[in-house]
A and B are shown apart, each in its own frame.
Chain A
Amino acid sequence: MGRQETFYELIRRQGISRRNFLKFCSLSAASLGLAPHFAGTIAHAMETKPRVPVIWLHGLECTCCTESFIRSAHPLAKDVILSMVSLDYDDTIMAAAGHQAEQAIEDIMRDYKGQYILAVEGNPPLGNDGTFCIPGGRPFVEKLKEVAADAAAVIAWGSCASWGCVQAAKPNPTTAVPIHKVITDKPIIKVPGCPPIAEVMTGVITFYVTFGQLPALDRQGRPLMFYGQRVHDKCYRRGHFDAGQFSEKFDDFGARAGYCLYKVGCRGPTTYNACSTTRWNEGVSFPIGSGHGCLGCSEPDFWDNGPFYERLETFPQFGAEMSADRIGATAAAIVGVGIAAHAGITALRQARVKPNTPVAADERVV
């Protein structure tokens, strides 16, 4: 294969003006939260760097990440897929199928050894020798390891690849694991969410193409630029939270008045994601904006930290609906009764010994 075209060459060939190209660069810089002069950096990268080959694999998943991705507005997913990167293999949305498709992946792995990005949506189930997910006739976990071996970097799309998500929720019948459990020798950037926000997904790609490196990551491997704050930190209902105004039910006065959704289970205070800033569907709204609490979809094990509509997590092993408060209060009541009984018996016993002589001397061991 010859030299990959640059993004700039490609869009000029498609008849897009330089002026529109520069607009695109400014928008991308803004969506990444970069200073205005970075538009120039992005433009330079697009003009000079060959497009990065990307292999997009699908494991055990619901494909919501792809659904989200193709709705990206800034930059348009079309621009990213067709132009900035060369998405050479994506079994869900590529035109080729069957042996043709498998040929494509082999070609990329050979021609761009050590240069391509592996983007993983979904995750590998390890149970039953990996046979719960069989793309192309063999276990997904094998394909994943093989493609990862020669990748420059790995992107974990969504909560499935990042943390395990619903298929890894208790009792995890297929032993689904996040991809970092099977790819241990490569840098992995996690872009969690169920699904992740489209602009966050394309933003991560734009950053990599522009700067040739992964953005700054937090301790868990998420890009700080999008996951450095909690939904709660920039929530527009935060004023009601601090004031102490909560909706108690989804049809009460508080719900209609737009009060904070903390008491109906909002996970905003424990969820790192850009929903309250970037929002969804071209910035139209986000769950809290529509009156529904955050479910914490971008957090590890959010399915097991339920129930979704209760503030406090419950411990099913102690019985349904048992939160730390209910278990603790029950235990405290039992201990309280125990103390009262013990005090009563002690008093009876004391009554048998001489007043002011705490315990008869002959009973004492010294």
Chain B
Amino acid sequence: MSKMYHPSTPLPSRVREGHFGEAILPPAGVQPGPVYVYDAAIRLWHWVTFLAIIVLCVTGYFIGSPLPSVGGEAHEHYLFGWIRFTHFAAGMILGVAFVLRLYRVLVGGKHARQIFWIPFWSLGWWKEIFEEVRWYLIIGKPKEYVGHNPLAHFAMFFMFVLPMLVLLFTGFALYAEGAGVHTGWYTWFGWVFSVLGDSMTVRTWHHAAMWVVILFSMVHMYMAIREDMTHRQTTISAMISGWRFYR
């Protein structure tokens, strides 16, 4: 774990991690050094995913509720076709990025793994969530974590990872439908229709999952900025340079 610290950080200034990922700061009077949290692969994935999701939400919304009709002859336009194409292209990028992200889960260390599992059996972890809720209700006290705080961890699993899986599987299933039932796409993703029942239901799940991700993103962006401003540690830098600084 020495990679976590900058070579120039003296031993006494290092921030260590407790059992639940909470930051154990050096004693008062010692300026804590920065910690390297998210490696380049995860940062790249985060921002590629961010851009892809924006494109997917906008084009997806217009697939569900198309714009007013264009005038003239049909052969002069391909507007809806391009909206759908952009959606599919961004969907492919999102999918490939997600698969590469899963590879980082295997080899990227504990911070790469964090949002993909939930220690639901650990009573202490739920207590940490409760503490965090108190802090967000502005009745508790802030606590610093090297990775995600438990509440963010919880939200990232239930409101990001799970709906992302729904979006990816239903999205690729709908794509398979367009490609045709005789294609490899359908061989890989046709089972989604057996699980959810019918094509319309698959579209509705796809659509509903979009709103879950939108709600998550709104709160997530707010919290990322708020935490950066109110906490003793930085957040946004952790997703840009990978380093979390303490003040």
Contact = CB atoms under 8 A, between A and B. Distances in A.
Contact of B77 (A244, A331, A363): A244
A74 interface: no
B138 A349 contact: yes
A268 to B, nearest CB: 11
B80 A364 contact: no
B198 A363 contact: no
Interface string B56-71: 0000010011111110
B143 to A, nearest CB: 5
A246 B66 contact: yes
A97 interface: no
A127 interface: no
Given A218-B181, A244-B66, A244-B69, A313 B200 contact: yes
A301 to B, nearest CB: 6
B78 A242 contact: yes
Contact of B219 (A233, A243, A335, A363): A335
Interface string A265-279: 001011110000000
A82 B144 CA distance: 82
Contacts of B211: 324-325, 327-328, 331-332
A163 to B, nearest CB: 8
Contact of B215 (A312, A325, A331): A331
A245 B74 contact: yes
Nearest to B75: A239
A220 B197 CA distance: 9
Given A242-B81, A339-B218, A358-B247, A219 B65 contact: no
Interface stretch (A53-61, A106-114, A224-232): A224-232
Given A325-B64, A332-B218, A296 B230 contact: no
B229 A358 contact: yes
B76 A345 contact: no
Contact of B80 (A229, A244, A305): A244
A343 interface: yes
Interface residues of A, number: 58
Range class of the B interface residue count: 35 or more
A366 B23 contact: yes
B198 A364 contact: no
Contacts of B89: none
Contact of A332 (B141, B182, B215, B231): B215
A224 B186 CA distance: 13
Given A259-B69, A324-B208, A242 B23 contact: no
A350 B142 contact: no
B172 to A, nearest CB: 16
Most chain B beta-carbon neighbours within 10 Å: one of A228, A230, A267, A358: A358
B6 interface: no
A241 B66 CA distance: 10
A351 to B, nearest CB: 12
A14 interface: no
Contacts of A301: 197-198, 201
B215 A335 contact: yes
A324 B222 contact: no
Interface in A237-251: 239-248
Interface in B199-216: 199-204, 207-208, 210-211, 214-215
Interface string B68-108: 11100011111111010000000000000000000000000
A254 interface: yes
Contact of B65 (A220, A233, A311): A311
Nearest to B15: A366
Contacts of B203: 270, 313
A248 B75 CA distance: 20
A299 B199 contact: yes
Contacts of A272: 199
Given A228-B182, A366-B24, A324 B70 contact: no
B25 interface: yes
Nearest to B140: A365
Interface string A314-337: 000000000011011001100110
A343 B141 contact: no
A342 B137 CA distance: 9
Contacts of B143: 364-366
Contacts of B110: none
B180 interface: yes
A319 B231 CA distance: 41
Contacts of B242: none
Interface stretch (B35-43, B47-55, B188-196): B188-196
A34 interface: no
A255 to B, nearest CB: 11
Contacts of B226: 342-343, 346
A230 B215 contact: no
A348 B141 CA distance: 16
Given A270-B202, A311-B65, A339-B218, 5 more contacts: A262-B66, A325-B211, A328-B210, A332-B211, A366-B144
Interface of A: 218-220, 224, 228-230, 233, 239-248, 254, 259, 262-263, 267, 269-272, 296, 299-302, 305, 311-313, 324-325, 327-328, 331-332, 335-336, 339, 342-343, 345-346, 349-350, 358-359, 361, 363-366
Closest 5 CB pairs of A and B: A328-B211, A244-B79, A270-B199, A244-B80, A243-B77
28 contacts: A229-B181, A233-B180, A240-B74, A243-B76, A243-B79, A244-B81, A245-B69, A248-B68, A267-B200, A300-B198, A301-B197, A305-B201, A305-B204, A312-B64, A324-B207, A325-B64, A325-B211, A328-B210, A331-B211, A335-B218, A336-B218, A339-B218, A359-B142, A359-B231, A363-B142, A364-B142, A366-B143, A366-B144
